[in-house]
Amino acid sequence: MKICIIGYGTVGRGVVELIHKKKLDVTVVGVCGRNCGVYDEEGIDLGSLIDGTKDVGLDKYPGVRRDIDANKMIDMKCADVYVELTPTNVVDGEPGYSFIRRILANGCHAVTSNKGPVVLYYNELRKLASANNVKFLYEATVGGAMPVLNLVRENLRGNRVASVRGILNGTTNYILTRMGSEGAGFSQILKEAQELGIAEKDPSYDVDGVDAAAKAVIIANEFFSRDAHMEDVDVCGITRITPEFVSLAWKNGFSVKLIVEVGRDVLRVAPRLIERNHPLCVDGVLNAVNITVDMAREVTVVGYGAGKYETAGAVISDILSI
Ligand SMILES: NC(=O)c1ccc[n+]([C@@H]2O[C@H](COP(=O)([O-])OP(=O)(O)OC[C@H]3O[C@@H](n4cnc5c(N)ncnc54)[C@H](OP(=O)(O)O)[C@@H]3O)[C@@H](O)[C@H]2O)c1
């Protein structure tokens, strides 16, 4: 199987390194950065690509070409599967949306870890994939390394999903966990999380619940065949949670968690009290999802929602499943 990777950042590099290290039976024919690309129809020498881009961007790699970019490589139809790993943008989904549309319209399979296009254009992209008889997979967009979408699609086949509750943002879970165990304030922990690289410089995407809301939309559309959009989510972030409230909850056997709740008529992200012995009550940067279905009753998955190799692992699972 020939693949082409679009976006050589953290996850893109993780995918390339894992394919190389694990000697997967996949030929990487293209890797695209912004306005540049590396292409070899026989398969790129991944060892040399990894070594040659250790401390620099793809544009500085000796074998890089300026006359080739993602759009060109998509139109060359040089790969069976295009792996779209550009930055998430929940405003217009670009550049990922145009890339994925072009890939599917060309009759090639697409795999992405980019929430933007999936959140904004879920039904359109699914229909386009089915009209062209190709697969469009995006496991890494919900809960990073945790199998959530494929778990229901493959392993819980035949079950009807009644509701989904989950912790789907590691940054806010880290902040709330430390507020609970140390009794410290939100701003102080946020500052330390930023210094540790756990929170972004602009933390609003996480702490205001936008990232969790995006995942809620994907779950609503995937499991409940809804036509949900970001504006349909009832969102409340964690910025107004006080250390006194978290400590009081902690002393009474509860933790405060930012919980995503999705059902046929529910679409919400809000802080909730969770009993400390509930399987959903995981700490630190961990994520957890609790799925209620009609046959298996309840299934809970716990794992890492982000990280270079963790996320790359979910992307590779989608590639191999195709
Ligand atoms: N990192 C994680 O743990 C994680 C977890 C789950 C999901 N995700 C999602 O996975 C995606 C990739 O994440 P990441 O952490 O790898 O992001 P990243 O490190 O910012 O990498 C994105 C890469 O895409 C490149 N890019 C931007 N525009 C492009 C274009 N038009 N054509 C080709 N390449 C382009 C960027 O190049 P420049 O540097 O030149 O801009 C950058 O190298 C994001 O959508 C993210 O939300 C990430």
Say what the pLDDT of residue 183 is: 87
Please state the pTM of the whole predicted model: 0.96
User: Distance from the CA of 93 to the center of ligand 1, in angstroms?
Assistant: 13
Whether 309 has a pLDDT exceeding 90, the answer reads yes
**pLDDT tens digits, 119-134:** 999 999 999 999 999 9
**pLDDT tens digits, 85-99:** 999 999 999 999 999
Say what the pLDDT of residue 214 is: 97
* 36-47: average pLDDT: 98
Q: What rounded mean pLDDT belongs to the chain?
A: 96
Q: Secondary structure of 61-91 in the HEC alphabet?
A: CCCCECCCCHHHHHHCCCCCEEEECCCCCCC
* 51-73: average pLDDT: 96
Please report the atom of ligand 1 found closest to the CA of residue 12: 16
Reported residue count of the chain is: 322
Whether 181 has a pLDDT exceeding 90, the answer reads no
User: Pairing state of beta strands 234-235 and 298-304?
Assistant: unpaired
Say what the pLDDT of residue 159 is: 97
**pLDDT tens digits, 209-242:** 999 999 999 999 999 999 999 999 999 999 999 9
Unique residue bearing structure tokens 């349909």: 232
The best mutation among 10, 16, 84 to test binding of ligand 1, ranked by most ligand atoms within 8 Å of the C-beta, falls on: 10
148 ligand 1 Cβ < 6 A: no
The dihedral over CA atoms of 227, 230, 232, 233, expressed in degrees to the nearest 10, equals: 120
Given a contact cutoff of 8 angstroms between Cβ atoms, the answer to whether 112 and 318 are in contact is no
Cite the DSSP H helix spans in 22-168: 46-52, 70-75, 96-105, 115-131, 149-150
85 ligand 1 Cβ < 6 A: yes
Please report the atom of ligand 1 found closest to the CA of residue 58: 43
Output the CA–CA distances (angstroms, integers) from residue 146 to 2, 62, 164, 275, 289, in the order listed: 26, 36, 14, 22, 9
Domains of the chain by range and CATH?
2-145+309-321 (3.40.50.720), 152-304 (3.30.360.10)
89 ligand 1 Cβ < 6 A: no
70 ligand 1 Cβ < 6 A: yes
98 ligand 1 Cβ < 6 A: no
Q: Which amino acids are annotated catalytic?
A: 215
Given a contact cutoff of 8 angstroms between Cβ atoms, the answer to whether 39 and 59 are in contact is no
User: Distance from the CA of 47 to the center of ligand 1, in angstroms?
Assistant: 21
**pLDDT tens digits, 246-290:** 999 999 999 999 999 999 999 999 999 999 999 999 999 999 999
Structure tokens at 281: 């009550």
Whether 28 has a pLDDT exceeding 90, the answer reads yes
User: Confidence band (pLDDT; 50, 70, 90) for 191?
Assistant: very high
Structure tokens at 244: 């006194």
Residue nearest to atom 7 of ligand 1 (CA): 113
99 ligand 1 Cβ < 6 A: no
